[in-house]
């Protein structure tokens, strides 16, 4: 192989690795500076659903910051009103699918947590966690940041993704490739001046 081709392949591979590391860094330490949540109504009727990722309608709680974006749906506790209409009482925890994305300048990595249906009971979900999940689901969910050592001081309740987002991954890798190529030429120039 020609040295220039090897150099390009090494820089592309380095750009991909740098892309993943930047995405993970944003997810681990970048704070949320913007939040979107469903608007509760003053008359306690059911809140309007909003469109979430992939066009899924629901009550989405979304947080974003520098290189990090999370969107999780929630359920609602309801009670019967005077006229039999369902009235909103409170939010009921997290539901699925939940999306966790990271990367810079574009979001390039994604983790998606899905509920797994129980084949024995069509109306129920399997209660599987951590390593009891199928391998494909473990890879799609990514590593939960709560499992990392406390001395890292990471943001909790996030996930380190293993799955790239196609457009963002290619774009960010190309940007990092260009940056690394620029550093390479700069180092060559400095080296030639010293020689």
C-alpha torsion sign, points 46, 51, 57, 59: negative
The 3 state secondary structure assigned to 60-113 is EEEEEECCEEEEEEEEEEEEECCCCCEEEEEEEEECCCEEEEECCCCCCEEEEE
112/33 Cα distance (integer angstroms): 22
- In this prediction, residue 11 carries a pLDDT of 95
156/147 Cα distance (integer angstroms): 9
In degrees and rounded to multiples of 5, residue 120 shows phi and psi of: -80, -30
Domain regions of the chain by residue span: 10-194
Q: Provide the 8-state DSSP code for 133.
A: S
Return the structure tokens found at 101. 């994305």
| Nearest-10 Cα torsion for 10, 11, 13, 18 | 140
Bridge-partner residues for 16, per DSSP? none
Question: 10-residue block means of pLDDT along the chain (195 residues)?
Answer: 85 97 97 92 86 90 96 88 81 88 97 77 60 83 91 93 96 97 91 82
Return the structure tokens found at 97. 């699918």
- In this prediction, residue 32 carries a pLDDT of 95
Place of tokens 């983790």: 111
Neighbours of 22 (CB within 10 A): 20
Tally helices (H) and strands (E) across the chain.
3, 12
- In this prediction, residue 68 carries a pLDDT of 97
- In this prediction, residue 29 carries a pLDDT of 96
Place of tokens 């913007």: 34
């Amino acid at each position: 192989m020609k040295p220039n081709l090897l150099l390009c392949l090494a820089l592309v591979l380095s750009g991909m690795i740098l892309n993943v590391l930047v995405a993970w860094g944003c997810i681990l330490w970048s704070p949320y500076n913007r939040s979107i949540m469903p608007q509760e109504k003053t008359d306690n009727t059911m809140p309007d659903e909003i469109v979430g990722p992939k066009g899924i309608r629901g009550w989405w709680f979304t947080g974003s910051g520098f290189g990090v974006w999370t969107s999780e749906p929630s359920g609602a506790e309801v009670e019967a009103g005077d006229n039999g209409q369902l009235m909103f009482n409170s939010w009921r925890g997290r539901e699925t699918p939940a999306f966790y994305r990271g990367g810079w300048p574009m979001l390039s990595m994604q983790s998606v947590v899905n509920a797994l249906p129980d084949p024995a009971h069509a109306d129920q979900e399997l209660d599987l966690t951590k390593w009891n999940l199928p391998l494909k689901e473990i890879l799609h969910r990514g590593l939960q940041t709560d499992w990392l050592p406390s001395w890292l001081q990471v943001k909790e309740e996030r996930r380190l993704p293993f799955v790239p987002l196609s457009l963002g991954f290619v774009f960010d890798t190309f940007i990092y490739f260009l940056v690394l190529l620029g550093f390479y030429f700069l180092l060559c120039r400095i080296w030639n001046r010293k020689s």
